[in-house]
Amino acid sequence: MERDDADGDRNGDGSGETDELAGFRAPPPPDDRLWRHPSEIERTGPAPLHPRTAERPSTNPWPVALVSGLVGAALTLGVVASTGALHDRGTSAGVVVPRSVPPAAAAGADAGDGVVTIAETVGPAIARVEVSGPQRSTGSGVVFTEDGHVLTNAHVVEGAQSIDVVLADGSEHRGRLVGSDTLTDIAVVAIEAEGPFAVAALGSAADLRVGQSTVAIGSPLGLIGGASVTTGVVSALGRRVPSRDGPPLLDMIQTDAAIAPGSSGGALLDRSGSVIGITTAIALSQEGADGFGFATPIDIARAVAEDIMATGQATHVWLGIEGRDLDNRSAGDAGVDGGAVVESVVEGGPAAAAGLAAGDVIVGLSGQTVPSMSALVIALRELDPGEVVDLEVLRDGERLTVSVELGTRPPPGE
């Protein structure tokens, strides 16, 4: 490295005197000096190269590789920008990470909040589901058993004549539809290949809270290159989502983690990396996506999948009511933490036979607190038709117990 000595010590002896001021004078003998001119030093090897003036043929491939990498990056940037997928959040050019720095350390804050770890852990269990039929379509799937069972959406595999499952490592396998359930929009596909396969850990949505962090992983638009990872929060719980061609989807998790078309059937995870939902739908308006999507709680998806794997179809327990969450003010007035308000009772259903009526507030199920309508639905999903349960009910300010024999939900439209 060269120094600018215009205001410095050109004699190198600390005197501060410059040649212009001191004039020419003969230097002391070499043995009386602390410095030597290069010509006075005996050389035992080739002369060192001056960093600016010396030239040697370069055999180092890194400059060429760097230029090639920059050209490739520019081309890639052009492709991404042309698809409209590039959002300007600021760029940092020329950053080189030393080989000795681990990827997690180079990732900075993202590694600290666990998203990088989640992506690396769960990513191998996220598959792309390609369907051939009257129309070709693509979606996502979550491998949840080592022998290759994949959770996805019923609408993804609807009308499928053949199914291919593309795993995170790029391998492609034939898939077989085990069964699907339009009521929950859940389907199970079996990979027709020998395992074991990487699997995602299934958690629970029973204790979710609005504002809780989420991570969504899917395979949007069937793009090659592995899963796509987005982050957000739980925006709402217990949503009722209209369906274009079937019954509404009940008890859905709403999240602002981006769920692009093609990510349907992917995983919604908590920050521990456990699957809490299967991404199902995105909210659309006349302007396009509204910035949030929905996922079927994993408790429901798991129960449906177990039924499908055992019998080929899902069996739903039925109480025979429609309801909503008890609002906070009413809950405070009643001295409870929450509950499920019965808005209507289906004639001839189990609830009607047990004497439940509109206006009742269900606050308990067989000794288990019921804080909301969504919690009631999730709790009922874990039970079987024919079981008798005790519902703790608030009616006109009084608390009473109603025993109900659960039934089997009739097919949609009946």
Active site residues: 155, 185, 264
Residue 383 near residue 408, CB atoms below 8 Å = no
Distance in angstroms (rounded) separating the CA atoms of residues 180 and 158: 9
State the Cα–Cα distance between residues 98 and 117, nearest whole angstrom.
21
- d(Cα 259, Cα 229) in Å, to the nearest integer? 9
Backbone angles phi, psi at 51, to 5 degrees: -65, -20
Contact indicator for 203, 272 with CB cutoff of 8 Å: yes
Output Rg (C-alpha) for the chain, integer angstroms: 34
Quote the DSSP letter at residue 215. E
CA-closest candidate to residue 28, choices 43, 45, 11? 11
Other Cβ atoms less than 10 A from the Cβ of 116: the count is 17
| Owner of token pair 């043995």 | 31
Q: Are 405 and 387 in contact (CB under 8 A)?
A: yes
Q: What residue type is 141 in one-letter code? A: G
- In this structure, what DSSP letter does residue 89 have? S
Taking the C-alpha atoms of residue 54 and residue 37, their distance in angstroms, rounded to an integer, is 19
Q: What is the helix, strand, coil percentage profile of the chain, to 5?
A: 20, 30, 45
